[in-house]
């Protein structure tokens, strides 16, 4: 390990104290409500547009930073810097992620870029702005930085929500690399030391994954793992993670399983096709389905209410509110394995959605929103981030 890898870096937080807080709710994308140590219930600005569903679970610990005394007045007095995951902080503040990258680049701690120094930050090229322009005696290099906060099961993934902007950045960097003969890199700051590989999240954003796959020879990626300590100091925890490109190319497909989440506010009696009339309790329902051809069209079909009813789920969908549909793209049929795992943590609706298999149920009732449940996310990650061969 080079000396720079062993360096510990800190963020320039000044004299401001870090405040720990218990996460309660996220009323909107940029705001959280939490119970702060010594302060009671406060609202804090969350500078991160990602979904963060796996991280912002009830009662997790947040790290808040009070606004600087000379800062202009804001709607909130605090800003969320980080959230704890597996007892380690994960930085959520997207602006500070570029501060981290600058620290790493200045310390020559990014493999492949050790000879280069930052000459400009926030560089406008055409329609886009890239984070850094680096230079050494022989060449120039544009570096775009992304913070990777989605990980589990030994795998790190990006993005956690569809990012058309991220995809455009990749394609434009590929054009620059070819037309201007300038090197380009995407630096993923992977905020865990538990991942053994990095992949574009083709489940959530297949277009981004496809772009990354197609430009990878012109725009090499550097998924650099880092770890934080409880005082929000960080260090590089290992070499860049490998990406199993063949696995991504094969599995980034329009087929696989999905978890459809629906909600009922009140009890409903519903004629459910061949199941006959059934009474459904209020709460959340998770339906495990699959489409080994046309997965995207199938998921879009579940969003629509107007359609000819074909499956049991169509009858329930008719009266329920659509909450979310989470794909698990795979060329392997996994629907019944997932249904069996779901049955371990929720109440199966006997006979629902399983006319063609030996399962007891493919529909599960939850009294609380499963999207806020750690077990549900663990299950999703087990299937989305399955160990890849080799």
Candidate segments 34-42, 70-78, 320-328, 346-354, binder of Zn ion by CB under 5 A? 346-354
Distances (CA, A) of 291 to 20, 334, 376: 44, 10, 21
In this complex, which beta carbon is closest to Zn ion, that of residue 118 or of residue 336?
Answer: 336
Chain centroid offset of residue 375 CA = 16
Q: Can you tell me the distance from the alpha carbon of 177 to that of 164, in angstroms, rounded to the nearest whole number?
A: 20
CB 184 to Zn ion: min, Å:
46
CB 329 to Zn ion: min, Å:
19
CB 89 to Zn ion: min, Å:
40
In this complex, which beta carbon is closest to Zn ion, that of residue 265 or of residue 356?
Answer: 356
207's enclosing H/E stretch is helix 206-215
Contact 73, 87 (CB under 8 A): no
Q: Does 319 bind Zn ion (CB under 5 A)?
A: no
Nearby residues of 344 by Cβ (< 8 Å), 6 or more positions away: none
Nearby residues of 169 by Cβ (< 8 Å), 6 or more positions away: 128, 130, 144, 186
In this complex, which beta carbon is closest to Zn ion, that of residue 117 or of residue 355?
Answer: 355
CB 338 to Zn ion: min, Å:
9
Q: Can you tell me the distance from the alpha carbon of 117 to that of 365, in angstroms, rounded to the nearest whole number?
A: 55
Q: Does 259 bind Zn ion (CB under 5 A)?
A: no
In this complex, which beta carbon is closest to Zn ion, that of residue 291 or of residue 354?
Answer: 354
Q: Does 357 bind Zn ion (CB under 5 A)?
A: yes
In this complex, which beta carbon is closest to Zn ion, that of residue 68 or of residue 357?
Answer: 357
CB 341 to Zn ion: min, Å:
11
- Please pick, from the candidates 336, 343, 360, 386, the single residue that binds Zn ion as defined by CB under 5 A: 336
Q: How many residues bind Zn ion (CB under 5 A)?
A: 5
Q: Can you tell me the distance from the alpha carbon of 131 to that of 124, in angstroms, rounded to the nearest whole number?
A: 9
Binding mask 213-232 for Zn ion (x = CB under 5 A): --------------------
Candidate segments 179-187, 194-202, 303-311, 351-359, binder of Zn ion by CB under 5 A? 351-359
Distances (CA, A) of 264 to 19, 285, 319, 366, 368: 38, 8, 8, 11, 11
Candidate segments 14-22, 43-51, 63-71, 349-357, binder of Zn ion by CB under 5 A? 349-357
Q: Does 359 bind Zn ion (CB under 5 A)?
A: yes
Query: Which token pair is 112?
Result: 């492949």
Q: Does 297 bind Zn ion (CB under 5 A)?
A: no
Candidate segments 232-240, 275-283, 325-333, 355-363, binder of Zn ion by CB under 5 A? 355-363
Cα(first)–Cα(last) distance of the chain, in Å? 25
CB 359 to Zn ion: min, Å:
3
Distances (CA, A) of 100 to 7, 262, 285: 13, 40, 41
DSSP codes, 38-59: TTEEEEEE----S--TTTS-TT
Q: Does 338 bind Zn ion (CB under 5 A)?
A: no
Secondary structure of residue 143 in the 3-state scheme: strand
Contact 63, 81 (CB under 8 A): yes
Candidate segments 82-90, 120-128, 240-248, 350-358, binder of Zn ion by CB under 5 A? 350-358
- Give one word for 267, left, alpha or beta, with left for phi > 0 and alpha for psi -120 to 50: beta
In this complex, which beta carbon is closest to Zn ion, that of residue 57 or of residue 275?
Answer: 275
Binding mask 39-68 for Zn ion (x = CB under 5 A): ------------------------------
In this complex, which beta carbon is closest to Zn ion, that of residue 15 or of residue 356?
Answer: 356
CB 166 to Zn ion: min, Å:
36
In this complex, which beta carbon is closest to Zn ion, that of residue 19 or of residue 354?
Answer: 354
Residue 75 CB-density burial (10 A; 0-12 exposed, 13-18 middle, 19+ buried):
exposed
- CA-angle at 303, arms to 261 and 276, nearest 5°: 70
In this complex, which beta carbon is closest to Zn ion, that of residue 170 or of residue 339?
Answer: 339
Residues that bind Zn ion (CB under 5 A): 336, 339, 354, 357, 359
């Amino acid at each position: 390990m080079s000396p720079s890898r062993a360096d510990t870096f800190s963020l320039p937080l000044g004299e401001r104290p870090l405040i720990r807080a218990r996460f309660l709710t996220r009323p909107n994308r940029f705001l959280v409500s939490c119970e702060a140590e010594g302060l009671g219930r406060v609202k804090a600005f969350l500078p991160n547009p990602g979904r963060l569903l796996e991280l912002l679970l009830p009662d997790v610990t947040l790290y808040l930073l009070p606004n600087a005394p000379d800062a202009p007045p804001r709607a909130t007095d605090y800003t969320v810097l980080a959230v704890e995951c597996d007892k380690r902080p994960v930085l959520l503040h997207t602006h500070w992620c570029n501060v981290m990258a600058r620290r790493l680049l200045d310390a020559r701690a990014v493999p492949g870029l050790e000879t280069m120094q930052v000459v400009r930050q926030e560089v406008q090229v055409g329609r886009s702005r890239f984070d850094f322009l680096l230079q050494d005696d022989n060449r120039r290099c544009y570096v775009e930085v992304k913070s990777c906060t989605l990980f589990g099961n030994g795998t790190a993934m990006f993005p956690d929500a569809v990012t058309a902007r991220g995809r455009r950045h990749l394609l434009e960097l590929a054009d620059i690399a070819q037309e201007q003969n300038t090197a380009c890199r995407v630096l993923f700051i992977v905020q865990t030391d538990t991942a053994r590989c990095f992949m574009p999240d083709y489940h959530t954003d297949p277009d981004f994954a496809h772009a990354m796959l197609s430009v990878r020879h012109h725009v090499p990626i550097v998924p650099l793992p880092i770890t934080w300590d409880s005082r929000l100091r960080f260090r590089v925890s290992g070499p860049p993670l490998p990406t199993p490109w063949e696995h991504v190319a094969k599995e980034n497909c329009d087929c696989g399983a999905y978890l459809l989440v629906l909600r009922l506010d009140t009890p409903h009696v519903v004629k459910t096709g061949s199941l006959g009339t059934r009474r459904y309790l209020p709460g959340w329902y998770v339906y495990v389905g699959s489409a080994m051809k046309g997965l995207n069209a199938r998921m879009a079909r579940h969003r629509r209410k107007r359609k000819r009813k074909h499956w049991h789920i169509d009858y329930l969908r008719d009266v329920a509110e659509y909450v979310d549909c989470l794909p698990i793209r795979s060329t392997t049929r996994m629907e019944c394995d997932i249904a069996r795992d779901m049955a371990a943590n929720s109440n199966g609706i006997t006979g629902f959605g399983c006319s063609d298999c030996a399962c007891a149920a493919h529909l599960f009732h939850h009294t609380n929103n499963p999207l806020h449940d750690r077990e549900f996310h663990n299950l999703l990650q087990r299937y989305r981030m399955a160990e890849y061969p080799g």
